[in-house]
Amino acid sequence: MKPKAIILRGPGTNCDIETFSSFRHAGAAPELVHINKLVSGEKNLLDYSILALPGGFSYGDDISAGKIFAVKIRKLAGNIKKFIHEGRPVIGICNGFQVLVKTGFLPENKKHKQVSTLYTNECGHFLAKWVKLKVNKKSPCIFTKNLPDEIELPIAHGEGKFIVEDKKIMDEILNENLCSLTYVENPNGSMHDIAGITNKKGNCFGLMPHPERNLFIWQNPDRKTPIKEIQAAGYQIFKNSVDYAK
């Protein structure tokens, strides 16, 4: 049986269809669900095996990126906490990563307080480009297993600068290898070149780059080698979660 993946969306979400398609190609049974359906009780998060918070500009990023969506998510904090505790895969991409940070699910802490932020890019403006990323082979992250040492994914964000002011928390991220992906050339000024982090269990993963936009080799306009395989790095990220959920 295919694991059920819930792709949670709200007003302004614009990468939900690509994320839906990515999970479908990776072997899951995805479903697009508006956040209001979970809040109202019409849908139950615990009926699903995988949770995805896709990219976009939820609620227009009117206050700050992901802030209003995070307020909605907090109404589901109990079920999300149980979802993660049970080991079910959770991925937050770009705006979804910003939501996980603002709800305190990443970086992981017992009180689920916001202990980090994704601030305005150091260049001061929106960035949309392809970037090279180093994969931390020591990370417990289930999403980055079996990836090569270096991958390419596109970014598209205005607030991607990862900041942690508490040295103890940052030390834990680095020492526990919770930093799953780092930029080869830091585009936004993130501390320690961080592009994506996970929890200690490895099943909750947030990243600023978009794996759903590099599902197939031919999606990369800068490829310099002939196409030998169909799937790209993004596909492996989604496939890892589907295989784990099975």
Q: Which entry of 18, 25, 94, 108 is annotated as an active-site residue?
A: 94
94 a catalytic residue: yes
Structure tokens at 43: 């849908």
8 A C-beta contact, residue 217 and residue 223: yes
Q: Does domain 4-245 have CATH number 3.40.50.700?
A: no
Query: Residue 228: its pLDDT value, please?
Result: 63
DSSP-based three-state secondary structure for 95: helix
Query: Residue 61: its pLDDT value, please?
Result: 67
pLDDT 10s digit of each residue in the chain, 246 long? 899 999 999 988 999 999 999 999 999 999 999 999 999 999 999 999 999 999 998 776 666 667 778 888 989 999 999 999 999 999 999 999 999 999 999 999 888 899 999 999 999 999 999 999 999 999 999 999 999 999 999 999 999 999 999 999 999 999 999 999 999 999 999 999 999 999 999 999 999 999 999 999 888 887 666 666 678 999 999 999 999 999
Positive or negative, the CA dihedral 145, 27, 194, 148 is positive
8 A C-beta contact, residue 216 and residue 231: yes
Q: What is the pTM of this model?
A: 0.95
Round to whole Å and give the CA distance between 203 and 87: 6
Contacts of 6 (CB under 8 A, 6+ apart): 30, 31, 33, 43, 45, 48, 50, 51, 52
192 a catalytic residue: no
